[in-house]
Amino acid sequence: MEQPVPVRSRRNRIGRFVLRWTVFYLGMLLVLWFIERRLVFRPSSAAEAWEAPVNTNTRDVEFPSADGTKIHAWWLPGNDPAAGALLLACGNGGNLSHRGKLADDLQRALGVGVLVFDYPGYGKNDGKPNEQSCYAAGDAAFRWLTDEVKIPASRIILMGESLGGGTAVELATRHDHRALVLMYTFTSLPAAAKYHYPWLPTSTLMSTRFDNLSKIARVQRPVFIAHGTADGIIPFSHGEALFAAANSPKQFMWVDGAGHDMAISEAMCVPLAKFLNTNDERGPEAATR
Q: What is the pLDDT of residue 26?
A: 54
Residues 24 and 54 in one domain: no
Instruction: Look at residue 149 and tell me if it is in a domain.
Output: yes
E strand residue ranges, 65-208 = 70-76, 85-89, 93-94, 113-117, 156-161, 179-183
Q: In total, how many domains does the chain have? A: 2
Residues 9 and 75 in one domain: no
Same domain, 212 and 257: yes
Please list the helix, strand and coil fractions of the chain in percent, rounded to the nearest 5, in that order. Answer: 45, 20, 35
pLDDT of residue 9: 73
Helices 100-110 and 263-278 meet at what angle, rounded to 10?
A: 30
Together in a domain, 167 and 26: no
- Predicted pLDDT of residue 286: 45
Count of alpha carbons within 13 Å of 143, Cβ hemisphere only?
12
Judgement on whether residues 165 and 196 belong to the same structural domain of the protein: yes
Question: What per-residue confidence (pLDDT) applies to 203?
Answer: 79
Mean pLDDT by 10 residues, the chain (289 residues): 59 66 55 70 96 97 95 94 94 97 96 97 96 97 97 97 98 98 97 88 86 98 97 97 98 95 90 96 51
Residues 29 and 136 in one domain: no
DSSP string, 118-147: PPTTSBT--S---HHHHHHHHHHHHHHHHH
Looking at residue 191, its pLDDT comes to 96
Rounded to two decimals, the pTM is 0.89
How far is it, in rounded angstroms, from Cα 10 to Cα 28? 27
**Per-residue pLDDT tens digits for 240-289:** 999 999 999 999 999 999 999 888 988 999 999 999 999 997 754 444 43
| 75 in any annotated domain | yes
Do 222 and 276 sit in the same domain of this protein? Answer: yes
| pLDDT of the residue at 187 | 98
pLDDT at 3: 53
pLDDT at 285: 44
β-strand partners of 114: 76, 86
The whole domain housing 15 covers 1-34
121, 91 in Cβ contact below 8 A?
no
**How many residues comprise the chain?**
289
Has residue 39 been placed in a domain? no
Q: Is 210 left (phi over 0), alpha (psi -120 to 50) or beta?
A: left
Identify whether residues 183 and 122 lie together within a single domain: yes
135 and 188: one domain? yes
The C-alpha atoms of residue 57 and residue 145 are separated, in whole angstroms, by 17
Adjacent-strand bridge partners of 74: 60, 116
DSSP 98: G
Cβ-Cβ contacts under 8 Å for 117 (sequence gap 6 or more): 71, 72, 73, 74, 87, 88, 89, 90, 96, 137, 138, 140, 141
**Domain co-membership, 137 together with 168:** yes
Same domain for 227 and 146, yes or no, is: yes
CATH number (domain holding residue 48):
3.40.50.1820
Q: Could you tell me if 158 and 269 lie in one domain?
A: yes
